[in-house]
Chains A and B, each alone.
Chain A
Amino acid sequence: MHTAAQHAASTIDPKVAIQAGKGDNHAFTQLYDQSSTILFSLALRILGRREDAADILQEVYVDIWKRVIRYDVGRGTPIAWLITLTRSRAIDRLRASDPQLRRQTLPTDGTESAVLPGQFESPADQALRTVISKTLEDLPKAHRQAIELAYYEGLLPAEIATRLNQPLDAVITRLKLGMSQLHKSLHTYWEQDLSA
């Protein structure tokens, strides 16, 4: 019987990721079950189309199975590795897509089938969501916007400045302050989590 902790994306056992890359069917299924929702949400946020997001996920998981890419504990947690891979590929696809189409499809169109916060979500993932959401909400809107454009659209500071019609220095400062605030909040959360 599965527990909530076993379904948490943020707490995927590194052994599961390693075994999944070695052809273990059970481990691969577990890896998919634990990570696919967060990865699909990320790819959908970047690409804006469910079909494109599904394609990205298929590429990532099939590459893991076929050992084109392999998890290494030295590169952080399994979900950090998976999120980095998914984001990189989704951004590449976004850059290669038609800018007109990109404009039409963003923001996400998946809200109608979205899972409500807390629904089927593990306590570990909920706690992380709470920290991140709270920190981003506390940031000035311009800071948050700059971070989202960099992270979800792969824009460089100069491109963000152009998009928002803001001075480059202002964008750089917002990015730096926003990331610094996120770092502080998460650092505190991780220390508390570690001591608990």
Chain B
Amino acid sequence: MTHHDLEDTVPFYAIGALEKTERQALEAHLLSGCVPCRTILKEYQSVAVALPFELTLVPPPRHLKAKIMGARTMPQSAEAALDSPAKSSLEPGEWMNHLFPPSTASTPSFGWVLSMVFLVVLGIVAFLSWNSSPQETATASKVAELQVQADEAHAKLAILQQQLKEREASLAQTQEELQRRLAELAEVKDQLIQREAELDDLKSHLTPQRTRPTALP
């Protein structure tokens, strides 16, 4: 097709009335850098989008605005059920991407997002496990050490309890011995008092017998 032939198809392209082969041929021509055709296309596209202004205006249902505002915050899963085909067959062809910067946002796919979330969670878990393992090990060794110390203290306490019992028994024996000695001492004291009394009696008997034999004129 010549440039003139292709130029003639521009108005049809603008209102979406071109067969696939003709559409592809014109897109290739536009991609080749034909400025006149690009200019004409821009003008005819402006004509095409002006056509709806002659329509009788019908306002959308009153609830539609609230529905759309609400649908903006719907989760991905619920939204997927409402989704239509991602790209319309009548939207501008790929050649438009070469003329203008890409207008479609680079929205990450769900799988990509899921992968990223998984990696982040995995990283957090790895960090926590790496960070918490030495602490847990140190705590376990400390507990074991304390357990050993407690066992040792318990054994020492048992020995001390045994020694205390032995001392108590020894003290009881000493008390008994002391009481027995005190009793013997008291008995000896009583015997001593009795002997002292007998001695005093003998002294009193001896003194009158020595003064009676000598009389004077």
Interface, chain A (partner B; CB < 8 A)? 9-10, 21, 32, 36-42, 44-45, 50, 53-54, 57-59, 61-62, 65-72, 74-77, 79-80, 83-85, 87-89, 91-93, 108, 110-111, 113-115, 117, 119, 121, 125, 128-129, 132-133, 136, 147, 150-151, 154-158, 160, 172, 175-176, 179-180, 182-183, 186-187, 190
CA distance A84 to B79 in the complex (A): 23
Judge whether A37 and B58 touch: CB under 8 Å. Answer: yes
Interface-central residue, B44, B57, B67, B91, by most chain A CB under 10 Å: B57
B8: chain A residues at CB < 8 Å are 176
CA distance A121 to B43 in the complex (A): 25
A147: chain B residues at CB < 8 Å are 15, 51
A115: chain B residues at CB < 8 Å are 56-59
CA distance A42 to B49 in the complex (A): 10
CA distance A65 to B53 in the complex (A): 25
- The yes or no answer to B14 lying at the interface (CB within 8 A) is yes
Judge whether B47 and A183 touch: CB under 8 Å. Answer: yes
CA distance A37 to B12 in the complex (A): 27
Judge whether A54 and B59 touch: CB under 8 Å. Answer: no
Q: List 25 A-B contacts (CB under 8 A).
A: A21-B105, A37-B58, A38-B53, A42-B55, A53-B60, A54-B64, A59-B82, A62-B82, A67-B105, A69-B104, A74-B100, A74-B101, A76-B45, A77-B49, A88-B16, A115-B58, A132-B53, A132-B54, A151-B16, A155-B17, A157-B12, A160-B17, A175-B11, A186-B46, A187-B43
Number of B residues near A (Cβ < 8 Å) is: 54
CA distance A132 to B24 in the complex (A): 30
CA distance A139 to B90 in the complex (A): 26
For the complex of A and B, 3 pairs with smallest distance between CB atoms? A88-B88, A88-B90, A74-B100
Judge whether A72 and B59 touch: CB under 8 Å. Answer: no
A67: chain B residues at CB < 8 Å are 105, 107
Judge whether B17 and A150 touch: CB under 8 Å. Answer: yes
Q: B79-110 CB contact bits vs A (8 Å, 1 = yes)? A: 10011111011111000100111011101000
B89: chain A residues at CB < 8 Å are 88, 92
